[in-house]
Amino acid sequence: MSKKVLYTLEYPVRCSPRILYEFLITPAGLQEWFADKVDERDGVYSFTWNGNTDKAQLVESEEDKSIRYHWLTSHKDEFFEFSIDKSEVTNQTILVIKDFAEKKDIKDQSQLWEYQVKELFHRLGA
């Protein structure tokens, strides 16, 4: 098995960090754009797509700033993370996504995130 590498994606978004944060950490918010169904119990999130469920542990979060999850089936050093930054020049909110994938899969994974983020922006009205 190839070693997965960390990659980063950035998306400018027209909404407040507070609203964006709710869509990234609450089951109801995540269910709006990330998965068909999302449940959370004791910091473990169950994400369901097309009847298949994957679980992720909430590793750390800083209100209105960042959320890091770890898939329970992934290597212990791997995670996916949402960060909310502000552009110092334009004062625009920036969604930063960090994830792991095998090098050959980064393009496909990036396209999947692109699709998901478009759905998020649609839900946000951004």
Specify whether the CB–CB gap between 24 and 66 falls below 8 A: no
Residue carrying the six token digits 């169950």: 46
pLDDT reading at 20 higher than 70: yes
Could you tell me the two tokens for 84? 């909310």
For 75-110, the pLDDT digits (tens) are 999 999 999 998 888 889 999 999 999 999 999 999
For 31-83, the pLDDT digits (tens) are 999 999 999 999 999 999 999 999 999 999 999 999 999 999 999 999 999 99
DSSP 26: S
The whole model's pTM is what? 0.92
Amino acid at 83: S
Task: State the fold for domain 5-124.
Answer: Alpha-D-Glucose-1,6-Bisphosphate; Chain A, domain 4 (3.30.530)
Average pLDDT (18-40) is 96
